[in-house]
Amino acid sequence: MSSQRSGAGFGAAFVLLIFVGAIVKLWAWIAAVLGGLMVFGLLLWLTFSLERRSDAEYERRAALVARADQQHAWVLAGDDRGVYGEYRPEVYPTG
């Protein structure tokens, strides 16, 4: 039984040696592939970041348009809120 176990250890060491040898021989290709993956990941992150930012800008503009429509409707109805919005001028007493 002990001869079978030592053979298994030799096989694992041989596979490890082949793996290390492949890394040493192909290190330039491995570095190129990892660099390409990093660039791809960066571009993917940038795309999602810009998309998220444009969604926020769209929501901000939609809220602005909704407020403008509401204020326009108030102006047409003769309401002062349509002119001054939420910030009405203070009325000072005369006299």
pLDDT digits (tens, 9 = 90+) for 42-85: 999 999 998 888 888 899 999 999 999 998 998 899 887 788 77
Region of residue 78 (left: phi > 0; alpha: psi -120 to 50; beta: else) = left
Separation CA 36–CA 31 (nearest Å) = 9
- Chain-centroid distance of CA 81 in Å reads 39
Separation CA 25–CA 86 (nearest Å) = 71
37 located within any domain? yes
17 located within any domain? yes
6 located within any domain? yes
Q: What is the pTM of this model?
A: 0.47
* Number of domains making up the chain: 1
Query: Tokens standing for 87?
Result: 């910030």
52 located within any domain? yes
Region 19-43: what's the mean pLDDT? Answer: 94
Region 13-19: what's the mean pLDDT? Answer: 90
Tell me the residue range of the domain where 38 lies. Answer: 2-84
